[in-house]
Copies of this chain bind each other. A is one copy, B any other.
């Protein structure tokens, strides 16, 4: 008769792996560290996950999965440009506030081998698709609702302002002398601040 694997142990491992991988990256992470962090034997890791690569991919996909999927929904919806911008900032910051180190982790690994990871991450159908959002910018400009601006540049501005503070978190914290609590508050403010800043700039 069949039994099932102990879910609590598996989750303990995943939690430990998350912590270690996100902090040290694929290469810097040591299987022993993960085992210690999980409070188990190293061999038990290989009992639950065949090897380091497999375990890493599990963590990476989970991390990237949290980061990207809602974006498409927002960009492809029928809302106005301004609403979309507000939704994007607000939702993205909310997600990342709970996992502030995710963006750097994902971007960093993405950088090691862009094509490999992009294919793993977005199998054809659910690739991030900014085309509708970009067209919408052109349309609203032609309708005279916003000033003339390169859609791609605007998209970059939006994403940059939303994501980068998390990537540069330690740098900002040390140079501005702010602690985790203050950083969190700044990010909370940014949910409204960024849309306001953008809209002030482009609205006619």
Contacts and interface: CB of A to CB of B under 8 A. Distances in A.
Given A28-B112, A104-B108, A167-B164, A174 B130 contact: no
A39 interface: no
B152 A176 contact: yes
A193 interface: yes
A156 B172 contact: yes
Contact of A201 (B23, B152, B165, B201): B201
Interface in A112-146: 112, 114-115, 118, 127-128, 130
A106 to B, nearest CB: 9
Chain A interface residue bracket vs B: 35 or more
A176 B153 CA distance: 12
Given A167-B167, A201-B200, A150 B111 contact: no
B168 A161 contact: no
Given A153-B189, A157-B197, A200-B200, 6 more contacts: A25-B27, A27-B27, A150-B189, A161-B161, A163-B164, A167-B167
Given A107-B167, A168-B159, A201-B197, A175 B25 contact: no
Interface hub of A25, A115, A160, A202 (most chain B Cβ within 10 A): A160
A104 B168 CA distance: 10
Contacts of A76: none
Copies in the assembly, this chain = 2
Interface string A161-204: 10111011111111110000000001001100110011011100
Interface hub of A24, A164, A174 (most chain B Cβ within 10 A): A164
A171 B165 CA distance: 17
A189 B157 CA distance: 13
Contact of A175 (B112, B128, B193): B128
7 smallest A-B Cβ distances: which pairs? A160-B164, A201-B201, A114-B170, A27-B28, A27-B27, A164-B164, A200-B201
24 contacts: A23-B112, A24-B27, A25-B27, A26-B28, A27-B27, A104-B107, A107-B171, A110-B170, A111-B170, A114-B171, A115-B174, A127-B175, A130-B175, A147-B200, A149-B197, A150-B193, A153-B189, A153-B197, A156-B161, A156-B172, A156-B186, A160-B161, A163-B164, A197-B201
